[in-house]
Amino acid sequence: MQPTSPKLLGALLAALLCSGLALAQSQDPAGQSTGQDPNAQPSISSPTPQQPAPPPPEKAKKGQPGSDAPIASPDTVKPKNSKDDVDAVGNRSVGKGVNFYSIEREIGLGKSLAQEVERSSKLIDDPIVTEYVNRVGQNLVRNSDAKVPFTIKVIDSDEVNAFALPGGFFYVNSGLILRAQEESELAGVMAHEIAHVAARHGTKQATKGDIIQIASIPAMIMLPYGWAGYGIYQGMNFLIPMTFLKFSRDNEREADFLGLQYMYKAGYDPNSYVTFFERIQADEKRRPGTIGKAFATHPPTQDRIENTQKEIAKILPSRPEYIVTSSEFDSVKGRLRNVMFARKAIDNGPGKPTLRTRTEQTDKQKTSPTTTDPSSDDDRPTLKRRTDTSP
């Protein structure tokens, strides 16, 4: 085979250049070719100076507090320890620490406290409402680190709140169910309370109080019956359930951390927890004092909201879909609203005895035109003291 001459190479290069120029001229202004290979990659044309391209919208950074868009979860997560590992929920010990109470004693304590609560509260006994709330709660319990069975009941109260006693005795106020707009919001608050029980915050708190009292009153062991007397003294203090509901900031932070994992593992959208807290905060700004009534034991402060957002963006892997709400949640809310309305109508109905304070009675007597002073009635019998007559 003879080598190609320089003249022939030059002619070939010139022909290739001419064909490329012709192809470029055959394209329309939009960058679409009129006769090019359909398998060729389309060209990207830059915007003309007359029509500048709009700037791309700024995306909220993952974990950035205060962003309007939901916090996005990472595609992959590498947990540093078991507490950060959502897949390890249920197979880890989150209630470790100094605790004078065994699980059995904690359940017994919670049972006695629950009896005090139910003696002073009015429960919702509608079977459909109670079954639904119990089912939502038990689903969260199955996806938690709790080591005790849960008994879940609904209290007839307008306050937006829920609380769980040691040993798994859990109460949800009807006001919380009616205030939640989605099932996932209700599940978020319930998961937070379940986390308090799973981490054994109530008995840990009581243990700290025991240690302080033991250190401050060493003479207690000199009482009759020794330590038995001290145990009776402590037992009297346990009649106040609020002792086991006021937690420290660290306890609340841990309950947020764990509760968010529980609702996520149960399939709920974790952003609903943030949404509900932000709505409660907005209510507080419009009507000061709302948080004090709604979440007196754990107010939704801004730092808690920010920490929750950071957790979503850090340790919760993204999912293709989440449970947000259901038609059953809406029907249960409507039924609960009717139950409470009917009960209030009965309580405020005619013929029901009412209590009036002494002040109201006095004011009514002052304003009544027909009221006269009883002491000025001439027909009223009078009593006279008998005079002593000496014999």
- Average pLDDT per run of 10 along the chain, which is 391 residues long? 54 52 45 44 43 49 51 72 86 87 92 91 95 97 96 93 92 94 96 94 83 53 39 39 66 91 95 88 77 62 83 88 94 95 74 59 55 52 62 53
Whole-number pLDDT of residue 387: 63
Flag whether 320 is in a domain. yes
Question: How far is residue 97's CA from residue 201's CA, in Å, rounded to a whole number?
Answer: 10
For residue 185, tell me if it sits in a domain. yes
Rg, Å, the chain Cα set: 36
Residue 390 included in any domain: no
**Which pLDDT score, from 0 to 100, does residue 200 have?**
92
Give the CA-trace dihedral at 56, 61, 62, 65, to 10 degrees. -130
Number of domains in the chain: 1
What token pair was written down for 126?
């509608």
Helices 249-265 and 183-198 cross at an angle (nearest 10°) of 120
Q: Give me the count of residues in the chain.
A: 391
Identify the pLDDT of residue 381.
61
Find the domain containing 297 and state its range: 82-345
Q: Report how far residue 209's alpha carbon sits from residue 311's, in angstroms, rounded to the nearest whole number.
A: 31
Would you state the pLDDT for residue 133?
Answer: 98
